[in-house]
Copies of this chain bind each other. A is one copy, B any other.
Amino acid sequence: MGILAVGSIALDSVETPYGKAENALGGSATYFSASASYFNSVSVVGVVGTDFPHADLEFLKKRHVNIDGIKIEQGKTFRWGGKYHDDLNQRDTLFTELNVFEHFNPIIPDSYKNCDYVFLGNITPSLQINVLEQIKKPKLVVLDTMNLWISIAKESLLEAISKVDVILINDSEAKELTLESNLVKAAKKIFEIGPSVVVIKKGEHGALMFTKTSIFSAPALPLEKVCDPTGAGDTFAGGFFGYLSKSGVLTDEVLRKAMIYGSVMASFCVEDFSLQNLKNLSEEQIANRYKEFVKLSSF
């Protein structure tokens, strides 16, 4: 068995300077799973409403994502609406309707409880802890989070972070979490909480990975066509953890390559709306994009 992924499944309405998508597939678990599915098998735990399009479930199945853990509840699916500025680093949230996601209570199916690799996507930290308590003896746990939980649930977020091996966090969130404006110092403070690997995502500026013995800087591919940045972070997480779990070892070399595969997948993600560009990538496309990263950073 590959990765167990827990997170949100959503229908997003997104407008960017390049167009818009209405009620398109979104959510942290979805982007993560689609991306990771190119490297390893993934089983998702999440919740959707009865309005969730059959086609979207079919898409995940086609990507060989195990969706037995997706519960369909009476009501509407979690919906998010956002509008990006000309500068795609800026966006306004137009609406957030939690719907069935509001009372999401992730029950891990028995068949998943022995899984080795766990991805705790961006949900309430108390639920991330709850999920971990249901898993028997995972080899490697990766956690993603967001600024909201730092603001309203810092204590339980710190507890969740203390239980994981790898944390993925934005640069602004790392600073907010640690009250430290220097990222090297922020990473050290996060080591003290528990994780042994700290990945700091910087959007179009790439990502930094801190281990206790080294720092790695992964570039982002400068793209002429950035259509929709939604989900890029979760897609990065999917490529990163997909490659890592497939490799099965946690050497510095594997971790660095995982960072690049995360960046590769994120670069595909932002080139189209929703998960459009994660539907049918070939091995060759992924390998070629990886080579572009080699060219981009070689000296």
Contact = CB atoms under 8 A, between A and B. Distances in A.
Interface of A: 86-88, 181-185, 202, 205-206, 208, 214-220, 222-224, 226, 253, 256-257, 259-260, 295-299
A288 to B, nearest CB: 15
Contacts of A208: 222
A182 B296 contact: no
Q: How many copies does the complex hold?
A: 2
Contact of A222 (B86, B217, B296, B299): B217
B299 A87 contact: no
Contacts of A257: 299
Contact of A216 (B86, B215, B296): B296
A227 to B, nearest CB: 11
B184 A215 contact: no
Contact of A205 (B202, B256, B259, B299): B202
A208 B86 CA distance: 21
Contact of A183 (B218, B222, B298, B299): B222
Given A181-B86, A256-B299, A299-B257, A222 B226 contact: no
Nearest to A89: B181
Contacts of A214: 295
Given A202-B205, A208-B222, A297-B297, 4 more contacts: A206-B219, A216-B297, A219-B297, A260-B299
A176 to B, nearest CB: 12
B297 A217 contact: yes
Contacts of A260: 299
